Amino acid sequence: MLNETLAAICPLDDEAIAAARALQARLTKPMGSLGALETLAVRLAGLAGACPPPIPQPAALAIFAGDHGVHAQGVTPWPQEVTAQMVANFVAGGAVVNAFARQAGVGVTVVDVGVKADLDPVDGLLDRKVRAGTRDLSVEPAMTRAETLEAIEVGMRVAEDLVRQGARALLTGDMGIANTTPSAALIAAFTHADPAAVTGLGTGIDSETHARKVAVVTSAVVGLHAEDPIDVLAAVGGLEHAALTGYILRAAALRVPVLLDGVIAASAALAAHALAPGSVAAMVAGHRSAEPGASVALGYLELEPLVDLGLRLGEGTGAVLALPIVASAVRVLHEVATFDSAGVAHK
Amino acid sequence: MLNETLAAICPLDDEAIAAARALQARLTKPMGSLGALETLAVRLAGLAGACPPPIPQPAALAIFAGDHGVHAQGVTPWPQEVTAQMVANFVAGGAVVNAFARQAGVGVTVVDVGVKADLDPVDGLLDRKVRAGTRDLSVEPAMTRAETLEAIEVGMRVAEDLVRQGARALLTGDMGIANTTPSAALIAAFTHADPAAVTGLGTGIDSETHARKVAVVTSAVVGLHAEDPIDVLAAVGGLEHAALTGYILRAAALRVPVLLDGVIAASAALAAHALAPGSVAAMVAGHRSAEPGASVALGYLELEPLVDLGLRLGEGTGAVLALPIVASAVRVLHEVATFDSAGVAHK
């Protein structure tokens, strides 16, 4: 499915873009007065190949969960069991992202792509476990190439299914204790940024833990000699990162906007970009995470986030917060009267 | 009603604030990981005097419309008739703010507090005209003190009615061709900022028009010797500015959050603050308008906007965009599981 997906990613439709620009100029508002929302709506018209593009609702959030062998290096104070516990919390509807999703009317799907625990089958949880957690990336490659491709396939299939079920926008979510460490390594690897500059405080760590985390990321990136994006993901990534990469790529192939959450999504977006630069056209940066690596990654992809409120939770919270803004931007092209139709004088 | 309103504005409830802070620390998320949303939810608990505070829905937007004598000075290329035409567009549901309001589930009420045209009675339009447009503030006071007080009363009563009808949040909206000029004058007057630094491009004007606008604002502020906030509003404000001042004050008195839109709302918020400094506790800055005066005013009030996307439309668009974010912040306190209840280990 990966080759077919990469081949299906095509450039924005110039005709739809031109039509959306022309429509923006006729609507009852001063030209440009909606700032970034005008640019966004025009781009989504180009993505869909239609003006107006579909209103991005219903929208679906997939939370990919996985564990990390690098947890053994003490890069976080949280016990590894919290990944599985939070998966149960998502399924029960008790996490922050569930509250945000109810507010925004977003459906939530939880995908176990690599949790290091046997999870009981339950509605709303997809068992797509590739492996019970990655290997320790500070010691050996986190995944084999085959495992990485399998996780990418999981993400692609989840995206495909959600869109088939009616989703008009896909949102990225993630859960995995220690997963800001592989994210930082991926960001440093793909953007060639200084590992120290992209390694943040994650869920909140002390300076000693942070120093250890920077050392782990630096050594992983220095020891990395892979060129192929799949090999980079395999060496220093995570199962949820690989799944998110596939999810993003499939959204792009289906010409459906994909709202990126925070630093984990941004690192997966870099992998997607490395595999198919055109996939960036489908990406909408939901928010600017407080993690420094997220800003480096978004800058590299030339994406401006919609929300910037100092969030650093993950789960998909920043993507869900941004959805109503994206929907509002698109609605303008559907619903706003023109100067002519409303009988409003133009300047 | 004004004296009663001012007297009813009380400080935030410390007990509810402490309860909200304690609750935030027990919810299944790293402490502080929701950034500005945690602070906001805590403040709204203090405003309501309850933890959790009410989810701010249903929410109501009031768009106060008025015309401006200073239009005669050529401060905008738009014809004055556009005010009345846009009022008709709001009532018909064809403006950008209507599309945003449908997306967010916000009710829209349009209030004619000073349009310089006879508007046909129609559902959704309240005729509260105090005067058919202000006088030219560059020549004489824009309003008498009595007119100003009457417009403030209009705003207070609209807020009162909307809350009685069930609104749990009030959003500010405005329409008035040329109304960024009185807004700039109010902001310069209340903050003592340089008039040139708070006078922006409004809906988009050329440099010659901008220079004329700066001159008008500068001369109005230089000639202003009023100390009383009502007299300042009367001298250089507008009818919608006065109505918004009353609307904001009444929201504060009712302990209901009031989401500010852009530069017009921010200038009215300064008047409200001058009359009752405690009213700032009820204000939530919806967005950062591209108008420079808006940032000066919000900085003066120490309010950080939730959305920053380069909008400069007015109508209430920035307030409506922010509502789902405010609701999401509050929902966390209602719906998110605690570490104990969800069986999630703490670090």
Averaged pLDDT of chain A = 97
Residues in chain B with CB shorter than 8 Å from the CB of A322 are none
Percent of chain A with pLDDT over 70: 100
Instruction: Determine the average pLDDT of the residues in A150-172.
Output: 98
Per-residue model confidence (pLDDT) at position A81? 97
Domains contained in chain B, CATH given: 2-54+331-342 (1.10.1610.10), 59-327 (3.40.50.10210)
pLDDT for residue A40: 98
Give pLDDT, residue B167: 98
The answer to whether A105 contacts chain B (CB < 8 Å) is no
Could you report the per-residue pLDDT of B212-239, keeping only the tens digit for each?
999 999 999 998 988 899 999 999 999 9
pLDDT of B334: 98
| Contacts with A306 from chain B: Cβ below 8 Å | 309
Residue B147 has pLDDT above 90, yes or no: yes
Task: Decide if A30 touches B, using CB distance below 8 A.
Answer: yes
Q: Is the pLDDT of residue B151 over 90?
A: yes
ipTM over 0.95: yes
Q: Report yes or no: B218 at the A interface, CB cutoff 8 Å.
A: no
Whether the predicted pLDDT of B204 surpasses 90: no
User: What's the token pair of residue A1?
Assistant: 């499915």
- Whether residue B315 has pLDDT greater than 90: yes
Arithmetic mean of pLDDT over chain B: 97
pLDDT at A2 over 80: yes
Among A29, A204, A345, beta carbon nearest to B79:
A345
Q: How confident is the model over B196-204, as a mean pLDDT?
A: 89
Q: What is the mean pLDDT of residues A93-118?
A: 98
**What is the mean pLDDT of the segment spanning B91-104?**
98
Has residue B186 got a pLDDT over 80? yes
B1 CB within 8 Å of a chain A CB: no
Confidence of residue B342 (pLDDT cuts 50, 70, 90): very high
Which A-chain residues 173-212 have CB contacts (< 8 A) with chain B? 203-204
pLDDT band at A182 (very low <50, low <70, confident <90, very high): very high
Q: Which of B33, B99, B332 sits opposite A99 (nearest CB)?
A: B332
pLDDT reading at B347 higher than 90 = no
Cis peptide leading into B58, omega within 30 of 0? yes
Residue B98 at interface with chain A, using a CB cutoff of 8 Å: yes
Band the pLDDT of A203: cuts 50, 70, 90. Answer: confident
Q: Report the residue of A87, A103, A259 to disrupt the B interface, i.e. the one with the largest count of B CBs within 10 Å.
A: A103
Which candidate from A95, A317, A328 shows the least CB-CB separation from B321? Answer: A328
Helix (H) or strand (E) holding B186: helix B180-191
For residue B203, pLDDT over 80 is answered with no
Q: Which residues of chain B neighbour A99 with C-beta distances below 8 Å?
A: 328, 331-332, 334-336
Active site residue A315: yes
* Separation in Å, CA of B152 to nearest CA in chain A: 28
Percent of chain A topping pLDDT 90: 97
pLDDT digits (tens, 9 = 90+) for B26-72: 999 999 999 999 999 999 999 999 999 999 999 999 999 999 999 99
